[in-house]
Amino acid sequence: MKREQLRHHPAYAALSPDEQLAIDERLEGWHLDAPAVAATTGGVAELDVSDLRFWLASTARRPWAMISLCDQPEQATAIFEGLLAAVPGLADHRERPKLVVLARDMSRALVVADSARREQGFVRDEQLAALCDQIDKLERVEPRWRDESVVAILRVAKLEELANALVDYTRSTRGVQGFLSRVGARVSTKLFDLVHGGLYLATGDAEHEGHYEHGEWTNWTANYRARPAAYLCPSNEDELCGAIAKAPELRVVGGGHSFNDGPLCPGHMISLDAYGRILDIDPNRKIARVQAGIRLRDLNKALWEASLGLPVLGSTDSQSLGGLVATDLHGTGRDAGFLSEQILSLRVIAADGVAQTVRPGDPLFHAAIGAIGTCGVVSEVELQLVDAFHLEKVTQMVDRAHAESSIDGLLRANDHISFYYIGGADEAEAVRVHQWNRTSAPLTPKWEKLKTRNELSDFAVSAFVPGLAKRIADIDEDAWLSDLVAPDSTLVMPGSRGFGRKLFYRHDEIEFGVPFERYQSCLAQILALLSVEEFFSVVEVRFTPDRSQSLIGPGAGRRSAYIELATPLSQDHERVFAKAEEIMREHEGQPHLGKKTNVSAQDMLEIHGDRFVQFQAVRAAQDPGGKFLNAFTQRVLGG
Ligand SMILES: Cc1cc2nc3c(=O)[nH]c(=O)nc-3n(C[C@H](O)[C@H](O)[C@H](O)COP(=O)(O)OP(=O)(O)OC[C@H]3O[C@@H](n4cnc5c(N)ncnc54)[C@H](O)[C@@H]3O)c2cc1C
């Protein structure tokens, strides 16, 4: 819809001439794209005069940020007016314009949270944390806008349940009760880590994986759970297609290694654990065709035995191939960075149970990669392989300033590179760098034992003694403490094992891909945030070329750097993750949908633009009735 067309819309005609003029000015240079609006809202037809008025009164530049409120404009207005009424003498207030904008934003955020509550039946902790944060900001500007006054205003606006959720959340996170519940959570997480760390030492296998037991499915960190009405494990295509066709609502699960509620479903959950066979390996053409339930570690093992491999991998190998496709797995690399670069074809089963095989160039191929299962269940993957190779991994503590100023040279000189920053360190001088290069050198004797030893020392420092990790980052990289606790190492390993590490302590992650050119400024702000908040987190930084095959993946459409916060579960992270997300968004960040994120469908449209519109068109064709939607996918991709 062009601006001219909006002028013929009944909602526009109902405005006063002054309001129409204001709308015209606001729309100057803005193209109101009907499919884009329809993708994230009820559609342009739903546009109401109150939407246009709300938009005019808000700071939002784009119309659909306001259209999403059209089902509750009265409450938004009531909260807005309640907030203004709480500040007597506002008309003469020195900072009136700023206060009005803050009140608008707050009322909008509260109504959006309430819409989510009505859809999902609850408000997510991340969203409550972000609201509390916003209320704190309000209070700093105007002391009369306290928690209690916002809660009272919500009650007057008849948003009783949201008010209760806010009260419960603040009680459990602040004051004595909050303190006790935080201590309890930390102790139980540390105990959990200790037991699993011990098991790892004793058996070499921590078995952190999603699983289904006694009617309940849990993810790898056991912090997301569901009791589905049916949990199915089909083992052939007829069964799989039949199960998909019959399910009223459905999510598919792989290794449960994602960090959000994406896999959860109260209806049917389908596991591809019994659908993980290698169908064919052609050593001459270096091509493998496999079922999507296979775990990466099993695929890697079989490929290594056939003297073949994948050129780049992520940091663990417990995921299913389908889960990796569904989140567009990235590793780090100069010339290659994504699993999706190696995919020759995908078999995808739509909501009606019909399967089709698609190749690069087909819109469904690119939509299904990174779609978190909303464009259909990925059931088979055909992969282009390379000859098996040895990989040398060098790990060092290096001078941070030097590493950052010579980043271009470092990236050129190495096949793959990543950094571990220790967030929360005050004046981090040192950073841990990992460099991987293919080599013809023989494998390091006892490489497996040495690899385990390195991972255990990382585990001890990162999960148990964050204070020590901070101290190491704050001192010179050549200091004795650094050499003792984080010694440099060089290992030559099989390419199939060299990228991944065994991560056997529970943690949460948020990760965004940002344009390569902007990553240092984004990283500096993230590290400053962690320092101000005195918040410990490992911050991993990786890089990929512009080669993602996904329409909505974190690295889609550009050369990227990834900034990831990997935070032990014993840290209270919601509030800080929400702030970190704001910083990443300000740096044009694109979320990794296998990890924590607060983005909405509107945000995704702003982030990915035309690619998101194309994605939504494919999704609508594959799943017209919204069978693959759950609370997470609905929030992130729209209904
Ligand atoms: C320790 C650790 C390290 C990680 N390292 C990296 C990394 O280096 N790079 C990176 O990009 N990510 C990384 N991740 C994230 C992880 O790769 C993704 O979350 C991935 O989706 C997990 O795969 P899974 O089989 O466990 O999927 P699940 O957690 O089971 O599912 C993830 C999502 O994909 C959907 N899905 C699963 N299978 C299918 C299918 N067959 N068809 C369609 N949809 C499906 C699910 O519904 C869900 O929404 C890491 C995660 C962990 C825990």
Q: Count Cβ atoms within 10 A of the Cβ of residue 442 and give its class: 0-12 exposed, 13-18 middle, 19 or more buried.
A: exposed
Q: Hey, what amino acid is at 559?
A: R
How does pLDDT run across 121-156, given as a tens digit for each residue? Answer: 777 777 788 888 888 888 888 888 888 889 999 988
Bigger pLDDT: 459 or 88?
Answer: 88
How does pLDDT run across 470-525, given as a tens digit for each residue? Answer: 777 777 777 777 677 777 899 999 999 999 987 667 789 999 999 999 999 999 99
Residue 404 CA to ligand 1 center (angstroms) comes to 30
Give 75's pLDDT tier (boundaries 50, 70, 90): confident
Task: Choose the most confident range, by mean pLDDT, from 205-219, 355-369, 526-540.
Answer: 355-369
Residue 440 CA to ligand 1 center (angstroms) comes to 32
Work out the average pLDDT over 620-629.
95
Q: Which atom of ligand 1 is nearest to the CA of 255?
A: 26
Top mutation candidate among 196, 253, 269, 297 for ligand 1, by most atoms within 8 Å of CB? 253
Q: How many residues does the chain have?
A: 639
Distance CA 639, CA 637 (A): 7
Distance CA 182, CA 186 (A): 6
Closest residue by CA, ligand 1 atom 29? 256
Which are the contacts of 392, defined by CB distance < 8 A and separation ≥ 6?
436, 437, 438, 439, 441, 490, 491, 492
Bigger pLDDT: 501 or 377?
Answer: 377
Residue 267 CA to ligand 1 center (angstroms) comes to 21
Q: Give me the interface pTM, i.e. the ipTM.
A: 0.99
Contact by Cβ (8 Å): 367, 277? no
Give 437's pLDDT tier (boundaries 50, 70, 90): very high
Confidence check: pLDDT of 205 > 80: no
What pLDDT, on the 0 to 100 scale, is given for residue 64? Answer: 43
Confidence check: pLDDT of 57 > 70: no
Closest residue by CA, ligand 1 atom 17? 324
What pLDDT, on the 0 to 100 scale, is given for residue 188? Answer: 65
Q: Which atom of ligand 1 is nearest to the CA of 259?
A: 19
What pLDDT, on the 0 to 100 scale, is given for residue 376? Answer: 98
CA Rg, the chain, in Å?
25
Residue 632 CA to ligand 1 center (angstroms) comes to 14
Q: Which atom of ligand 1 is nearest to the CA of 253?
A: 30
What pLDDT, on the 0 to 100 scale, is given for residue 287? Answer: 98
Top mutation candidate among 218, 233, 329 for ligand 1, by most atoms within 8 Å of CB? 329
Q: What percent of the chain has pLDDT over 90?
A: 51
Q: Which atom of ligand 1 is nearest to the CA of 220?
A: 53
What pLDDT, on the 0 to 100 scale, is given for residue 133? Answer: 84
Task: Choose the most confident range, by mean pLDDT, from 199-208, 276-285, 392-401.
Answer: 276-285
Residue 5 CA to ligand 1 center (angstroms) comes to 43
Q: Which of 44-53, 81-90, 93-102, 301-310 has the lowest mean pLDDT?
A: 44-53
Mean pLDDT (the chain) is 85
Q: Is 252 in the pocket of ligand 1 (CB under 6 A)?
A: yes
| The two three-digit tokens of residue 178, written as one number | 């909050």
Closest residue by CA, ligand 1 atom 8? 314
| The two three-digit tokens of residue 391, written as one number | 């990989």
Q: What percent of the chain has pLDDT over 70?
A: 83
Residue 461 CA to ligand 1 center (angstroms) comes to 26
Residue 257 CA to ligand 1 center (angstroms) comes to 5
Run of H or E including 208: none
Q: Is 553 in the pocket of ligand 1 (CB under 6 A)?
A: no
Q: Is 262 in the pocket of ligand 1 (CB under 6 A)?
A: yes
Q: Is 513 in the pocket of ligand 1 (CB under 6 A)?
A: no
Confidence check: pLDDT of 72 > 60: no
How does pLDDT run across 342-351, given as a tens digit for each residue? Answer: 999 999 999 9
How does pLDDT run across 226-236, given as a tens digit for each residue? Answer: 999 999 999 99
Confidence check: pLDDT of 442 > 80: yes
What pLDDT, on the 0 to 100 scale, is given for residue 37? Answer: 41
Confidence check: pLDDT of 366 > 60: yes
Q: Enumerate domains of the chain plus CATH numbers.
A: 3-173 (no CATH), 390-600 (3.30.70.2520)
Residue 511 backbone dihedrals phi, psi, to 5 degrees? -150, 135
Confidence check: pLDDT of 333 > 60: yes
Bigger pLDDT: 180 or 526?
Answer: 526
What pLDDT, on the 0 to 100 scale, is given for residue 3? Answer: 59
| 565 beta partners | 510, 539
Give 36's pLDDT tier (boundaries 50, 70, 90): very low
Confidence check: pLDDT of 69 > 50: no
Residue 635 CA to ligand 1 center (angstroms) comes to 18
Top mutation candidate among 327, 506, 636 for ligand 1, by most atoms within 8 Å of CB? 327
Residue 153 CA to ligand 1 center (angstroms) comes to 41
Contact by Cβ (8 Å): 576, 533? yes
Q: Which atom of ligand 1 is nearest to the CA of 327?
A: 21
Among residues 367, 365, 313, 376, the alpha carbon closest in space to that of 343 is found at 365
What pLDDT, on the 0 to 100 scale, is given for residue 73? Answer: 59
Q: Is 385 in the pocket of ligand 1 (CB under 6 A)?
A: no
Look at residue 494 and give its three-state secondary structure. strand
Confidence check: pLDDT of 303 > 70: yes
Q: Which atom of ligand 1 is nearest to the CA of 209?
A: 26
Residue 45 CA to ligand 1 center (angstroms) comes to 37
Q: Is 337 in the pocket of ligand 1 (CB under 6 A)?
A: no
Q: Is 272 in the pocket of ligand 1 (CB under 6 A)?
A: yes
Q: Is 550 in the pocket of ligand 1 (CB under 6 A)?
A: no
Q: Which residue has the tokens 């008849």?
A: 158
Burial 582-608 (b: 16+ CB within 10 A, else e): bbbbebbbbbbbbbbbbbbbbbbbbbb
What pLDDT, on the 0 to 100 scale, is given for residue 1? Answer: 43
What pLDDT, on the 0 to 100 scale, is given for residue 638? Answer: 86
Which are the contacts of 240, defined by CB distance < 8 A and separation ≥ 6?
234, 270, 272, 275, 349, 377, 379
Show the CA angle centred on residue 496, arms to residues 490 and 500, nearest 5°: 65
Bigger pLDDT: 578 or 120?
Answer: 578
Q: Is 309 in the pocket of ligand 1 (CB under 6 A)?
A: no
Closest residue by CA, ligand 1 atom 10? 329
Q: Hey, what amino acid is at 522?
A: C
Q: Count Cβ atoms within 10 A of the Cβ of residue 503 and give its class: 0-12 exposed, 13-18 middle, 19 or more buried.
A: buried
How does pLDDT run across 163-178, given as a tens digit for each residue? Answer: 998 888 887 777 666 6
What pLDDT, on the 0 to 100 scale, is given for residue 255? Answer: 95
Among residues 526, 536, 636, the alpha carbon closest in space to that of 583 is found at 526
What pLDDT, on the 0 to 100 scale, is given for residue 30? Answer: 46
How does pLDDT run across 556-594, given as a tens digit for each residue? Answer: 999 999 999 998 776 778 889 999 999 999 999 999 999
**What CA dihedral angle connects 87, 89, 95 and 99, to 10 degrees?**
30
Q: Which atom of ligand 1 is nearest to the CA of 373?
A: 44
Q: Which atom of ligand 1 is nearest to the CA of 322?
A: 41
Closest residue by CA, ligand 1 atom 38? 323
Q: Is 376 in the pocket of ligand 1 (CB under 6 A)?
A: no
Confidence check: pLDDT of 639 > 60: yes
Closest residue by CA, ligand 1 atom 43? 373
Confidence check: pLDDT of 539 > 80: yes
Work out the average pLDDT over 404-426.
90
Per-residue H/E/C for 232-282: ECCCCHHHHHHHHHHCCCEEEECCCCCCCCCCCCCCEEEECCCCCCEEEEE
